[in-house]
Structure 1
Amino acid sequence: MVKAILCGVLVFLSECSLSLADDLRNCQEQRDDIVYEMGQAKRYGNVHKQRGLETALSRVERYCQDDEPDPRVDQLSRAHTDVRRREDQLEVAIDSGSSRMVEKYKKKLAQARARLRDLSDK
């Protein structure tokens, strides 16, 4: 019961945070973030959050309109998403206890962060 309530609150907050930031981000970035969060919800079996994010994604696809897309913003968005994904992978590797996997994902995270830093400096 408590778990269901927490899931509902998380879905509500995630939708609110996505809708509040609509003006600050382009449509592709919003889609990328929602798809990423949906993947995380699937990975952890959070069906309620998944449903809420599916609704959010359909709303973004229906109502969001970009002017001309800025390739630099798109690259930065993808690099930022890649860093978050690599951080999650490293966390899973640490939880698994495999030192080989931890080292592998540390390197990949360092590469992703370097790419993000390079794109941010341009």
Structure 2
Amino acid sequence: MKFLSPLIVFTACGLLAAPLFAAEQAPDLSGCAAKRQDISTQIEQAKAAGNSDQQSGLEKALSEVTANCTDASLLKQQEQKVLDAKREVSRRQADLNKAMSKGDPDKINKRKDKLAESRKELQDAQEELEKVQPDEEDE
């Protein structure tokens, strides 16, 4: 019986871990494929919730993405978002510097908060850009 108990535990652990290994092996989608998959998931959720208006809008969005989305255009769009966010950070930094030269503590704190917010948006845009960029090993 001592032999049987570890065998059962080992088998149970193997069965419970199998879905985890399968999920790790599934390739992560990127670019337009990820966008289509995300919209499809939202369509399924709208169907399950019985929200036909939302489902209809999402199906239209899916057809637009299918017809018009290219990975190159998605990459270019995200690169532009990063550039815009960098400009915003620069502008906010200049605003902060100006407030600091005037010495108004209230304005300085407001400008610091705005700068932090802009930096967070830049970080988010850069992370999103990394998601849509093609992997070096794929080329």
Query: Do both share a fold (TM > 0.5)?
Result: no
TM-score between both structures, scaled by the size of structure 2: 0.38
TM-score between both structures, scaled by the size of structure 1: 0.43
